[in-house]
Amino acid sequence: MQLDENPEVVTAVCAEAGGELQNEEQIRAIEQKWAGTNFEISHFVKKSDHEKIPAIKALDEIKQQLEDHIMTLQSVGASKYARSVKQKVAQWEKDLNTISDVIDLWVLT
Instruction: For the chain, give every domain's residue range.
Output: 3-108
Question: Does 57 have pLDDT greater than 70?
Answer: yes
Q: What residues does 42 pair with on adjacent strands? A: 55
Distance CA 35, CA 84 (A): 22
pLDDT in tens, 80-101: 999 999 999 999 999 999 999 9
DSSP state of 84: G
Predicted pLDDT at 19? 93
Mean pLDDT to the nearest integer, 53-76:
92
Which of 14-28, 31-45, 73-87, 89-103 is predicted least confidently? 31-45
pLDDT band at 1 (very low <50, low <70, confident <90, very high): low
Q: Which residues of 63-101 are buried (b: 16+ CB within 10 A; e: fewer)?
A: bebbeebbebbeebbebebbeebeebbeebbeebeebee
User: What's the whole-model pTM score?
Assistant: 0.81
